[in-house]
Each structure stands twice: as C-alpha cells, then as structure tokens.
Structure 1
Amino acid sequence: MKREKELLIGDLAPELRLGTVLKGQGIEGFDAGIVHVIECWATWCTSCIDTIPHLTDLQKTYPDVKIIGVAINDDEEKVAKFVAEKGDEMDYMVASDGPVENGQEQDGGWVANHWWKASYSRGVPEAYIVDGTGRLAWIGHPVDMDDILPMILSGEWDLDEHAKQHRSALENNKVRESLALEDILHAKAKAGDHRGMIEAFDEAFAAHPALEGQWWDSKLQILLHIDRPAALIYADDLVISAKPDDGHIDLCVGEMLVRAAIDKDTDTLAADGRDLFDAGLGYLLAGERRLSGEAPNPHMACDLSMTIVDAMLMSGDLQDAKRRAVAALALAEESGLPDDAIEDLRARVGRCEGAEKAASPTIVGDDDVCIIDPA
C-alpha cells in the first residue's frame, strides 16, 4: 500500500519548508549544482546527538555542501535551547520543522510528513542527500554518508541504478505493507482492541507471508497478554515451522515464554506460569542442543547459558544451573570475552552457590544424634 505522499531515491526532492532557522542563513530552495544534506533529528534521540560531531566534521570537510539539521517531532523551545547550548559543536545549519499545509502541527510538521514519513523512514537520525540536479540521491543513517557523499559530489554515483535497487528493496522487504499494518495496529491499540490487533496480524500474514518474519514477536507478546493457551499454540507453530534462515526463533520464543511466566513483583515463577515456563525452557534447551552441532559462537553460547541458568535457578534445578554457569564462565575466559560478560557469568556462579547453600540443610550434633536444621 503506497502512502499518499511517497519519496523514493531518484525522485525530485520536495519543498524543504522549515520553521525557525536556529543556526545558519536558512534556505530558499535547492540551488542548481549544489549538493544538500537534510538530516532529520530530535533532541530526545541520543543517537542523533552522537552524530552531531560527525555532521560538523563533514560540513568542514565539504564546505560547498549545505548540511541542514531539521528537528522533527520535537518541542521548538527545547530545540532552540539545545542548539544554543551546543554552540560551535553544531557547526551547520539547523532549523525546526515547518508547518503542514493547514498551518497546524498535526502528527508532525512539513519535513516529518513530506520527507521522513513519505520515504518510509522508521527512526531518527535519518539523512537525505539531494544531488546538484535536485533529485534525491540517497537515504540512510548520517554516519554512513562518508563514502557516499564523495561519489555524489564527483558524479560517480549511479543514481538510476540505486533508485532501482531502492524500489526493489521496498517491494522485497514489504516495507509499504509493514507500515500499513503498523498504522492499523496503532489505531487498534489506541482503542484497546487487542483482539482486533491479532485479527490484523492474521489478515496481514495471510496476504503477505513475509510480514510474519517481521512481526511474529509482537503477535506472540499480545497473545501472552490476552490468551495464554493460544500463545502456546502459536509459539509451537513458530518453532516447528522455522526455516534455517529464520534465525534463532526457538531461542527468542523460549526467552519470551520464560519471561512471561515470571511474576514481575516478586521476580519468581508466577502461580499460573508453569506451563509457559516449562515450554519456554524446553525451547531454550532444544536450541542449545541445536547450536552444539554448529560452529561455536562463544558470545551466543554464554548469553544462552545465562538465560538457562536464570531459568533453572527459578525452577530449583540448582545443580544443573551451577554446572552450566561454571562451564559458561570457563568458555568466556578461554575465548577472551569482554570483562563485563565474564563478570556477569561470575555473578551467576555466585548466585548458584548461594542458592545451593540456602537450600542445603544444616546438620548439628546432639550427643549421638544428628539433628537436621532446615536453616
């Protein structure tokens, strides 16, 4: 399903309607022969803030390129204060978003609607490079521009080929269909219609099977909230039908079920969570056996071991939990994993030893009789 206003690589760039220009001279339009970079960002986005030095460096490296940071879905006063505080660290043009057609800020401003949403973007920061002819040449994360921008400036960039690839990727990845489903889900969620959300998932998956690979975890999460028996059936279907290139669905499903079985207030197994817990742990153990036949991946093996150890500690299988924790710690040390990962595993071993000690009875002597003190 196409959006009413669609912006793809190869298209002529739409108008750049800005709000308040907070740094720089502003812009009237896209000057012929000049390459422009439009970056959508927000003050609440840590990744956006992290890219500011990079954009400043790019502006200094390519002074003939006009870089414009447009704050979208943000409060203009906060943006103005942020830009003022950054000073020369943010050394390129910066502006707030302009008004939409009716002059009202409705679900985002001009750039948010005509650039960011129209290009099927999902997050910020998002950068758009407009070439010297006024066509959109590239869309992506700002830190990925280093090799792209010089090619566009030199004329080496094959715009027609990249436009073709971009359109193919949208079709193959069902980007339009996924965002259409997202819009429906947001409306259903806002109305509190969880059953309607499940129906929307089922209809979308039937029409476009590839969407299930992108959305199965969201459907399972909702089912865990409203219909646990149906969640168990769906979880089993996911694991049984998984293909080799579907990733580690068994591990993801297992972890979701185990977490859903835990009482969040007490951090213990919920009274009605045994069926979810047993199924989840079963998927995790099956995944562990499957991975044992593949090339070793110490990071994944240790992460999985920690998840299983935590589950076994909760279920009272203390000896197996300790055995796995000790083995995972040895693997981590042998493989040279980061210190924080090793410390996490040492903490797991300590938890296992503490649980064993707490569960062991204390034997005290009384003349010629041993009295067991349950401590």
Structure 2
Amino acid sequence: MTRVPLFAVLLLVAPEPRGVGAAEPLTIGSPAPELKIRTWVKGDPVTGIEKGKVYVVEFWGTACAPCIKCMPHMSELQRQHKDVVFACLCDEKEKDVRDFVAKHDKNMGFRVGWDEKGRMWTAWMGAAGHEGIPTAFVVDATGTIAWIGHPAEMDEPLQRIREGKYDPRVAVIALRFQKARKEAFRAENERLDRGNRLAVQVEKLVLEKRAAEAVTLVDEAIRKEPAERVWYGQMKLQALVADPKLADRALEYGTELAGAASARAHQDRPTSQVLLHIAGLLSAPLGDAPPDPRCCDLAIEIIKQAREVARQEQDSGERDQIEFRLHADAQLAHVFASKGEYAKAVAHAETALKAFRTATPPPSWTNNKQLRQNMEGWAKQLEESLEEFKKKAATRERR
C-alpha cells in the first residue's frame, strides 16, 4: 500500500516525500536515525537505539490491508526473538491508533508507538525514499541499517543479523533492484499520462472538426516518441477517419498501422518471460566466463519478480504458464548452483522436474511431436544437472 502522511500534504512541490530538515539519504549500511517516540500505545517505552541490541522499526497504517495481514507474522517473530526490540510506528491520529490497537490487540504482540507529526516517518521512510507500507528497517548491534523491506520477507535476514552472520550485499542488490523497478514504474506512468493527454487533445480537436490539426499533433508526438507509433497511430487513424476529405489517407494509414500492430504482437512476449530471459543472461554468460555472484543475486531477485508478474498475466496461454513455472525453478536451480548453494539448487531442480512429470500437458504439447521431444530433452538435461548438484551438495556437507 502506498500512503501519504498528513504532513506530506504541505510538501507536494518537493521532488521526494521528505519534510523540511529531513534526514540524509538512508540505505543499507547507513547509521540508523534517532528513534524518538514520546507516546507508546503498547509495550515498554524505547528511548532510542542502543549499541549491542538489534531493532526492527516498522511503519504501518490502520487502513493498510497488507499491514494488518502481516501483524500475526510480526508477532511470531517477536515471540521467537525476544531479545530483538520491535518498534511498530503509525503517524495517524492518536485516537485512531489507540482504537485500532484495542481492537486488534491479540494480533499485535509487539510495541506500538504513535509517531506524532510523522517525525520518525520523515527520518526513516522519507530519508530512504520509501512510500509503501508496511516497510521494516532492521538495525544491527552496531547501530547500522542492515536490511530494509517488507516484514513478510524478514525472517532469514533477521535471524542471521542476530547471529552476526549476515552478509548485507544481497540485500543491497535486492534494494537497488526494487528502487530501479520503482523508477521504471514511475517512468511508465509518465508515458501513459502523456499518451492519455494526447488522446484527450485529439478527441477534442476531432469533435471541433479540426481533424487535420489533430493529425499534425499526433505526427509530432510520433516524431518525438517513435516507439509509441502503434499506440499514437490509433489516435491518428481516429482523426483521419473522422474527416471525409482524408478518407484516402485513412485507408492507406489504416493498412500500414494494422501491419505494424500485427508484427509487434508477434514479436512481443509476456513480461514474465522477458524477465526470465534477462535473469538467464545475468546468470549464464555467453562463452567461458564464470558468472558474477552479484549478477546471480540479481537474477534471483528478477526471477522472484517474474513469478509475481506471471501470476497476473491472465492473457498468456496455458502452455506459457506451465513452461514458465518449469523454467523458473530450473533457472533458479542453476543460479544457486553457480553461487555454490547446492542444497537450494537440488530443491529447485526437484520442484521443476516434479512439476513437469505431474502437469497435465496442454494440447500444444500433445499435438506437437517436436515440442514434446524438446521438453523431454530439457527434462533429461535437468535430471543430469540434478545428479551433479546432489553430488556437490554431499561433498559440501562432508567438509
């Protein structure tokens, strides 16, 4: 959930969701900001970040469904790690926070603080450039930010941070990837806004019987953004068709546009498959160069995202969905093997092979002999890789 704190309403002109006097940019490896809460709605007060202790500082909202959903999980983590200081903060009206805690008390086995005037939001969330909740920050025993992310993904990092065995490099890669996604989504939204504004302008001109002006307007837009030719071209066609004097041009352009759209449709693939392909390029370099461990970590994050995207791709066919599930786990197996994590490689390879053997083949498999042979060959190669992973995993355990 993305929310805007009340204090941010006065700061809409700012490029980032930060208040005046906000903290320096905050990320993994940064010293933790101060933790000053005057009003604790539940639990013992926390007076600040003390060296030698591990802290979880989480931001949530009373109307945030994902926040409410993960509260039992947060409670379980606090129960498991009694030495960790959980501080879950909300900057809504104090009465609203108290009423919520009273209603959901049995699911909130952790401290709850009222973030008066959103000061902690500014110092933590604003400084880190985060807007979505729930978001948790884990502070290690040195007072350093060791992890930032969704509380549902915090189990393993928190355990390793407590043990002093945590390597923050993977978390840094994951955080950078999420920020890159955020910027890409922002750019995509801006692109859609430009197109939608153009559509409104074209419609207005067409209704005013100024179709020729609309055509000129769209031509200029296509000149600036040729990648949008198919989308913007539909607006141009709308204008051409609206003016009988432009009928010949409409026919010619309509034919051209339909051809371009058809070619584009055949070239495009579901986003999940594109992401999987990118992950493959990262984790399996062309030639004999070994994969960079950091690239493998990034590949894992991208495959995770590809899985989420695949769940939302309702338009992709049954074959695409099945093949994606198989290849995602197979690729994760090879990535973990590249990292030397053979136990995880074995688990993912076995998952992929089990899915392949138990899945009901779509008609495109059963009716296509070559495709069926290709999939059987793929499974055989993965079985060979699995045996290799098992041997290396056993060797690693004996050391």
- 1:301 equivalent to 2:278? Answer no
- Report what 1:110 is aligned to: 119
Deviations 1:158-198 (A, max 9, x none): 34x4686589669x9397xx6xxxxxxxxxxxxxxxxxxxx
SS in 2 for 1:14: coil
**1:193-241 superposed Cα distances (whole Å, 9 cap, x missing partner):** xxxxxxxxxxxxxxxx997456322332343345665885588569853
Summarize the Cα distance change of 1:93–1:235 in structure 2 as closer, same or farther, 3 Å threshold.
Answer: farther
Q: Aligned AA for 1:219?
A: R
Equivalence for 1:14? 33
SS for the counterpart of 2:63 is: coil
Equivalent residue runs for 1:3-152 within 5 Å: 5=23, 6-72=25-91, 74-98=92-116, 105=117, 109-152=118-161
Deviation, 1:13, is 0.8
In structure 2, the partner of 1:219 is 194
Shift of 1:50: 0.9
Tell me, yes or no, if the aligned pair for 2:160 and 2:166 is still in contact at 8 Å: yes
The Cα shift of 1:156 comes to 1.4
The one-letter code of the counterpart of 2:119 is W
- Deviation of 1:139 (Å): 0.7
1:105-143 alpha-carbon deviations (Å, 9 max, x no partner) = 3xxx11111101110102111110010111111111111
Matched letter for residue 227 of structure 2: S
- Would you say the 8 A contact 2:43–2:110 is kept in 1? yes
Identity %: 27
CA contact (8 A) 1:8 1:166 kept: no
Answer yes or no: is the 8 Å Cα contact 1:10–1:163 preserved in 2: no
Find 1:173's aligned residue among 175, 180, 185: 180
- TM-score by length of structure 2 reads 0.48
Is the Cα–Cα contact under 8 Å of residues 9 and 166 in structure 1 kept in the other structure? no
More strand by proportion, 1 or 2? 1
Provide the secondary structure at the position in 1 that maps to 2:88. strand
Per-residue CA deviations over 1:287-344 (Å, capped at 9, x if unaligned) read 543358998x9833369xxxxxxxxxxxxxxxxxxxxxxxxxxxxx9859xxxxxxxx
Q: Displacement of 1:29 after TM fit?
A: 1.2
Give 1:89's aligned amino acid: N
1:48–1:124 contact (8 Å) kept in structure 2: yes
Change beyond 3 A, Cα 1:59–1:234: farther
**Structure 2 CA distance, aligned partners of 1:284 and 1:53?**
49
The correspondence for 1:241, drawn from 209, 224, 227, is 227
CA spacing shift, 1:231–1:300, aligned 2, 3 Å: farther
CA contact (8 A) 2:90 2:115 kept: yes
Whole-angstrom distance in 2 between the partners of 1:335 and 1:235: 43
SS of 1:173 mapped into structure 2: helix
Pairs aligned (count): 237
Equivalent position to 1:154, from 152, 158, 163: 163
Distance change (3 Å), C-alpha of 1:26 and 1:285: farther
Aligned equivalent of 1:289, options 240, 257, 266 = 266
Which structure 2 residue ranges, 5 or more long, are not aligned?
A: 1-14, 204-213, 244-249, 274-309, 319-359, 364-399
CA distance in 1, matches of 2:141, 2:83: 11
- CA distance change for structure 1 residues 17 and 222 in 2, over 3 Å: closer, same or farther? farther
CA contact (8 A) 1:126 1:142 kept: yes
- Cα separation, 2, equivalents of 1:47 and 1:112: 18
Q: Distance in 2 between matches of 1:21 and 1:112?
A: 16
- Inter-CA distance 234–136: structure 2 relative to 1 (3 Å threshold): farther
Q: 1:37, CA displacement in angstroms? A: 0.4
Asked if the contact 1:39/1:68 (under 8 Å) is kept, the reply is yes
CA distance in 2, matches of 1:83, 1:284: 54
Amino acid at match of 1:146: D
1:16 aligned counterpart, secondary structure: coil
Q: Secondary structure at the match of 1:127?
A: strand
Residue 145 of structure 1: how far off its partner (Å): 0.5
* TM superposition shift of 1:24: 0.2
| Aligned CA distance change for structure 1 residues 231 and 210 (closer, same or farther; 3 Å) | farther
Deviation at 1:155, TM superposition (A): 1.2
> Do the aligned partners of 1:83 and 1:90 also contact (CA within 8 Å) in 2?
yes
Shift of residue 51 of structure 1? 1.0
| Contact 2:37/2:47 (8 A) holds in 1 | no
